[in-house]
Amino acid sequence: MVTALIKSLGILTKPIREAQGSDGQSTQTALVLALQRNLSELRESMSAGKELEEARRLLEEVRRDSTWFCSDANDLTWCFVQECLLLLLCLARHLNRLVEAFHQIPAAPNPATPEAAPPLPPDVLSVAQQKTLGAVLQFVVTLGLCPYLAPGVGVALGLRSAFGAAVEGAVRHDVAPTGERRLLITANVLLEVSALSSLATPVFTRHLGDIMAALCQLAYRPQRPEGDGTKSNKGLTVEERKTCKEALHSLLGKVYQPIVIKELLVLQGGPKQASSGSRAGCAGEGGKALSQAPSWLRRLCGQLLSDRLMQPQGVQAVVRAILEGTRAGGDSDWRKCDAVAKILAACPQQSLSAESYYSQVCPQVLELLHFKDKLTAQQFQRVATRAALIMVQDQPEFAERFLLFPLLSPLRRCAQGTGDYLSQDAVEEWELTRCIEDVYKICVVGNNPSEVLLKALADVYSTLFNLFCFTKQNVSHLRTSCQEILIWCLSHSERSASLLLLKRLCGLLGEVVGVRHGFQFSPGSEGGARLTVRDLISDEDDALYEKVSGEQWRVQCLVQLLEEMKDSDLPGEFFLLLLQDLTAVAAEQDEVEQEVNTSSMTLLELEQHLLGRAGGHGQRLALLQALAIMCEGLPHTQLLCKPTQVVGFIASMLQRACVSLERGTDSPVESQTLSMGMGLVATLLSGAAELTADDYSSMAALLPHLEQISQQYQEPVIQELASDLRATIATHGAYRPTTVPKTASQHSTAHSLTQPAAHSSNSAIPQVPSQSISHPKHTTDPSVTPKVKDFQTAGGIPNPGISEALRSKAFSECLVEACDPDVPTRAVALRSLTHSVRDGDEEALQNKEKLLTLFLENLEHEDSFVYLSAIQGLAVLADSFPEQILQRLLGEYQTGATVGPPKRERSLETRLKVGEVLMRACRAMGDLAPHYGRPLIGVFLSGTRDKDSSVRASSLSNLGELCQRLNFSLGPLAQELSTCLTALIKTDREAEVRRAAVHVIALVLRGLSDKTTQVLGDVLSELYRALKGVVRSDPDDVAVLHAQLALEELDDVMRRFIFPQQKLEKKIVVLP
């Protein structure tokens, strides 16, 4: 029966090529002739052949049951459509009976293997049958549905193909039944046929838009009252329109929603500017503009689209409908995503209320951020990010309630939740991970800051910062996201809010509440974090240690966060704010320390008083801790990157000095602060940096402090300098006394001498404050009184009037001060003498023996600042007089006793310090190492046999530094060197000696590089075997590591030797 019905349908749709004769007839006439011949052939086949007998009986039965069938229709196209509809109904009913019988009869046991396919249902059609069915459906829609759609409803046939115009001309609208009746009949039959799943697929995949257009017109098109509502009326009855409405909503509910939304967008039509003339001109082209839809249809499609959007998963359906099939990354894709985001963010007019709309849409927008497929996720996240940001900007109230509150809910629960203490996971790992990722996508990737968004983030900033501190202690994939979010929030917030937030995180405004009491962050199983119950600590000391270490770690993490803000002024402004607070603390110290009469207080008042004092002490300690960590962790170029910030730094220093003057106290630290502050002002005004009018305006804040110093300070020199600086600033540099540039130059020189490892003075403006911050550490003796001479020796403000006289006495005074018991004075004197030798001072060079003895004696000093200065001085002397100084140092190092009278033994530490001097001298030799290094090698080789392991290791270290600079001069000593090193590697019991021996080999290989095979060719195999032995059998891990590094050096050398680099060179030869 199925075959017979499909054959009948095939006869109807059979192409008759001879219908287009050679007489030049039109396409419309050829179409009518083809339809008429196919109808005649079908009747003849059913009446004559027994093959179609069953199909004919079923067709007659269906024809009798169909009340809509019109036997006396005068329109050939409608007759053809009626026959197609009847055959489709026959096919649908027959297949439906077969399916019911198939489900009622139990399936017979399959004798085949379990892997065999189950039996096919009887409604499955072959490929050829599906092709025939598709052709019939196309004829039905083209001849029985599209011609009767109103203008602007759906896509007109003329816009689909050139053949569509012929179809429209072949249809007769002036005969019964009416157009709307025909449209109703065709739509109802297609819906009845699509009730069977096997037939629904070809109907809806190709003709869903046309069926939806027909149902919209039948159910919602306004009609003029032209009769009494009887059958003779051209319009439809109320019941029929109601049935069409139900059918339309049922169809929209069961079809894949993105396809429905696409078809509704097509039904809405094109823009109003599209004209019929332009569409007519485009006939025959591939891409044509949509016609303008009627107003009732546009309103209906808008309502239906709003209903689709507000359904569960409606947002996803809308996004899929518009973005499916587009390639990610193109310009059109960005525009589409932005358009979809604007659609989602705007409340439609058909919605009952804006609150109900956003309450349903916002959670779905957040769900778009959680897709895993890369292509889909990229587009969906782009739409979700833009939609969220537009909602926050246009609808802040609803966005805060329905978008930001659910978004930040896991972080809020970490700080404010009331979770059950019995549950181990108050906030799950996946919740925190999803929250951080979503916030990162919306804030950092979207990068459209707004007041509402920043306020919402500020409420959970402490919790987010606690999570960041936790990730810094562990390996977590959340660390980078947390850091970027925190930096984004600090960068885009108002500067005052950012500074207040930073103070709160440092604990300067009270206790930092990031996680609720009794809970803590713990590592998650997937590299994230979760909030769990904290284990109780019974020991009070352990609890206090954990609290203090936690506070310090938070400040360190905050400084690391500020370090990442390299292009921002926020770190410098926060540093200056802390300095201002420090000055305020110094001013309030007297008031805090005043005795308070507690005899008249009640117990409650006394307790509050004591708690207040304790809290004040705690905040002062927190302030000092924050300043110390910032000075240690942040470079000076980031703390003070602008002249205005340098001026602010100087103002805080001078303000502290003024506070000291008002209190009548005077200490070395405060004197040093004043000295450095005024020196920095002089450096700024002397032309170290080009100052603008704005810079001078900012320096006006220094005028009151300089005036106070010039009037109240006890030293006349300082008073005069403060007055001169004040005059220079007030006149914007027009008046500049000679004291200002002299003070600036001497300030820079003095500070360069006080740096432990400096070899040159740094006079750049950003570098000066960093030196002044570290300088007070060198003044440790509180008994020193701040006199003019102290300022000169400490690098402060010298007396301009007597500086020339003091210059001639500088060397002799430095010699005396180098024996001073005060550590800073001695160290500064030693570095001053070193500086004189390096600069070639004549008096210093003539007294080199005195300097040598002085430096050697200071090697035995216990303070590192002193003996490091002596080591540096000896290295400079050895560089200036290598032949004399090196011999003396070699004697001291080899024998461990003084060379000159009186003879006395040197301690082991002093001997190692001499070794450090020799190592620095070896590094400074450069190309002269082959000339001066020959006697050093003998001493170092003999030192490898010393009974003390430290001396052996020191000798090997010096030997490595020297040998890597000898180049070809090492050739005659290669055998001796190899024997010594391999023997120590194999026989020495001390791990540090074996490490040093292996390290010597690595240094030699690194220094010789491509010359290794020429210099060490005879001993290379021995060294290789020694290194392999260390890797295989040495118990010390560090020695093994050194051996592996040496083997890598050797491997690189041999690779370059065996496979030399090919160079493309052009040789020019001049012929004779």
**CB contact set of 195 (below 8 Å; sequence gap of 6+):** 92, 96
Q: Are 583 and 655 spatial neighbours (Cβ–Cβ below 8 Å)?
A: yes
In whole angstroms, how far apart are CA 1060 and each of 451, 1015, 1063, 1066, 1067?
64, 18, 9, 18, 19
Residue 805 CB neighbour total at 10 angstroms: 9
The pLDDT assigned to 616 comes to 59
pLDDT over threshold 70, residue 73 = yes
Higher-pLDDT residue of 811, 947? 947
In the numeric block, the tokens 């405004």 are attached to 509
Pair of tokens at residue 685: 């005004």
One DSSP character per residue, 829-863 reads: HHHHHHHHHHTT-HHHHHTHHHHHHHHHHHTT-S-
- The phi and psi torsions of 797 (rounded to 5 degrees) equal -100, 110
Contact in structure between 752 and 774 (CB atoms under 8 Å): no
pLDDT tens for each residue of 83-117: 888 888 888 888 888 888 887 876 665 555 666 66
Q: What is the pLDDT of residues 548-559, one digit of tens each?
A: 888 888 888 998
**pLDDT band for position 800 (cuts 50, 70, 90):** very low
Contacts of 100 (CB under 8 A, 6+ apart): none
What was the pLDDT predicted at 802? 33
CB-based contacts of 326, cutoff 8 Å, min separation 6: 332, 333, 336, 379
Mutual angle of helices 331-345 and 314-323, in 10-degree steps = 150
Instruction: Give the DSSP letter string of 115-163.
Output: TSPPPPPTT---HHHHHHHHHHHHHHHHHHTGGGSPTTSS--HHHH-TH
The fraction of the chain above a pLDDT of 70, given in percent, is: 81
Most confident of the following: 15-24, 174-183, 612-621, 797-806: 174-183
**Residue 929 contacts residue 962 (beta carbons within 8 Å):** yes
Percent of the chain with pLDDT over 90: 9
Lowest mean pLDDT among 163-177, 207-221, 293-307: 163-177
Instruction: Please give the average per-residue pLDDT across 355-375, as a whole number.
Output: 87
- The answer to whether the predicted template modeling score (pTM) of the entire model surpasses 0.75 is no
When pLDDT is cut at 50, 70 and 90, the band that residue 650 belongs to is: confident
pLDDT mean over 573-586: 78
Say what the pLDDT of residue 794 is. 34
pLDDT of residue 60: 83
CA distances for 459 relative to 399, 404, 410, 493, 585, angstroms: 16, 11, 13, 13, 29
* Terminal-to-terminal C-alpha distance of the chain: 105
Q: Which of 204-213, 614-623, 824-833, 1055-1064 has the lowest mean pLDDT?
A: 614-623
Four-residue CA torsion sign, 354, 357, 360, 363: negative
Q: How far apart are CA 617 and CA 619, in angstroms?
A: 5
In this prediction, residue 172 carries a pLDDT of: 77
Strand order in the sheet with 519-523: 425-427, 529-533, 519-523
What is the arithmetic mean of pLDDT over 395-412? Answer: 91
Structure tokens at 789: 């001479």
Is residue 260 predicted with pLDDT exceeding 80?
Answer: yes
> Which residue, among 268, 269, 267, 179, has the nearest Cα to 223 in the 3D structure?
179
In angstroms and rounded to an integer, the radius of gyration of the C-alpha atoms of the chain is 47
Give me the pLDDT at residue 753, please: 40
Ranges 49-63, 466-480, 630-644, 692-706, most confident: 466-480
pLDDT of residue 759: 34
Q: How far apart are CA 521 and CA 910, in angstroms?
A: 51
The answer to whether residue 435 scores a pLDDT higher than 90 is: yes
The answer to whether residues 264 and 279 touch, using CB atoms and an 8 Å cutoff, is no
Q: For residue 905, what is the DSSP state?
A: B
Confidence at residue 438, expressed as pLDDT on a 0 to 100 scale: 93
> Tokens standing for 636?
């000076």
Q: Under a CB-based contact definition with an 8 Å cutoff, are residues 366 and 403 in contact?
A: yes
With helix as H, strand as E and coil as C, how does 251-274 read?
Answer: HHHHCCHHHHHHHHHHHCECCCCC
More confident site: 1043 or 288:
1043
Cα–Cα distance for residue pair 837/969, rounded to 1 Å: 31
The answer to whether residues 535 and 519 touch, using CB atoms and an 8 Å cutoff, is no
Report, as an integer, the average pLDDT of 114-132.
80
Predicted confidence at residue 328, as pLDDT, reads 53
User: Could you tell me where the DSSP H helices lie in 349-460?
Assistant: 354-367, 374-394, 396-399, 405-407, 409-416, 429-439, 451-459
Residue 173 clears pLDDT 90, i.e. is over it: no
pLDDT tens across 200-238, in order? 888 898 889 999 999 999 998 887 554 444 443 356 888
- Average pLDDT over the chain reads 77
Average pLDDT over residues 401-421: 80
Query: Tokens 């207080």 appear where?
Result: 601
The phi and psi torsions of 692 (rounded to 5 degrees) equal -100, 180
pLDDT at 420: 47
Confidence grade of residue 326 (pLDDT, cut at 50, 70, 90): low
Q: For the residues of 578-589, what is the DSSP string, one character each?
A: HHHHHHHHHHHH
509 pLDDT tier (thresholds 50, 70, 90): confident
User: Measured at the alpha carbon of residue 675, what is the angle toward residues 670 and 677, in degrees to the nearest 5?
Assistant: 95
pLDDT surpassing 50 at residue 450: yes
Would you state the pLDDT for residue 540? Answer: 78
pLDDT at 792: 34
Residue 285 pLDDT exceeds 80: no
Query: How many other CB atoms are there within 10 angstroms of residue 94's CB atom?
Result: 20
Write down the pLDDT at residue 769. Answer: 34
pLDDT mean over 836-858: 81
339: helix, strand or coil: helix
pLDDT of 735 higher than 90:
no
pLDDT tens string 651-678: 877 877 777 777 666 666 667 677 777 7
Q: Which residue shows structure tokens 């778009």? A: 368
pLDDT band at residue 454 using 50, 70 and 90 as cut-offs = very high
Contact (Cβ atoms closer than 8 angstroms) between residue 738 and residue 727: no
- Cβ–Cβ under 8 Å, residues 411 and 462: no
Answer yes or no: are the C-beta atoms of 310 and 361 closer than 8 Å. yes
pLDDT number for residue 1008: 83
pLDDT at residue 388, rounded to an integer: 92
Q: Which residue has the higher pLDDT, 493 or 348?
A: 493
Q: Is the pLDDT of residue 82 over 90?
A: no
More confident of the two residues 924 and 1030: 1030
- The one-character DSSP state at 404 is I
The more confidently predicted of residues 535 and 561 is 561
Q: Report the pLDDT value the prediction gives residue 225, as an integer from 0 to 100.
A: 53
User: What value, to the nearest 5°, has the Cα angle with vertex 631 and ends 629 and 632?
Assistant: 65
CB 934 within 8 A of CB 971: no
Check if the beta carbon of residue 877 is closer than 8 Å to that of residue 835: no
Question: Phi and psi for 112 in degrees, rounded to 5?
Answer: -80, -175
Strands 519-523 and 529-533: antiparallel
The SS3 call for residue 93 is: helix
Residue 326 structure tokens = 């587009």
Picking from 16-20, 212-216, 380-384, which range would have the lowest pLDDT averaged per residue? Answer: 16-20
In eight-state DSSP terms, residue 535 is P
Q: Tell me which of 120-129, 430-439, 603-612, 718-727 is least confident.
A: 603-612
Which residues lie across from 905 on neighbouring strands? 897
Q: In terms of pLDDT, which residue wins out, 745 or 718?
A: 718
State the average pLDDT over residues 483-507.
Answer: 90
Peptide bond preceding 902 in cis form (omega within 30 of 0): yes
Tell me, what's the pLDDT at 635? 82
Largest CA distance in the chain: 143
* Torsion, Cα of 1043, 1047, 1053, 1059 (10° steps): -170
- Higher local confidence (pLDDT), 967 or 1020: 1020
Does residue 161 surpass a pLDDT of 90? no
Of residues 642, 747, 660, the one with CA closest to residue 699:
642
Identify the pLDDT of residue 669.
62
Query: Are 905 and 897 a contacting pair, CB within 8 Å?
Result: yes
Q: For 865-915, what is each residue's pLDDT tens digit? A: 888 888 888 888 888 887 777 777 777 777 766 665 556 677 778 878 888
Residue located via tokens 């359904």: 311
Distance between CA atoms of residues 319 and 376, nearest Å: 10
Between 985 and 509, residue with greater pLDDT: 985
H/E stretch holding 661: helix 643-663
* Per-residue buried b or exposed e for 632-658, using 16+ beta carbons within 10 Å of the residue's own CB: eebebebbbbebbbbbbbbbbbbbbbb
Strand stretches in 387-544, DSSP E: 425-427, 519-523, 529-533
pLDDT at 489: 92
Structure tokens at 894: 């080899």
pLDDT at residue 327, rounded to an integer? 58
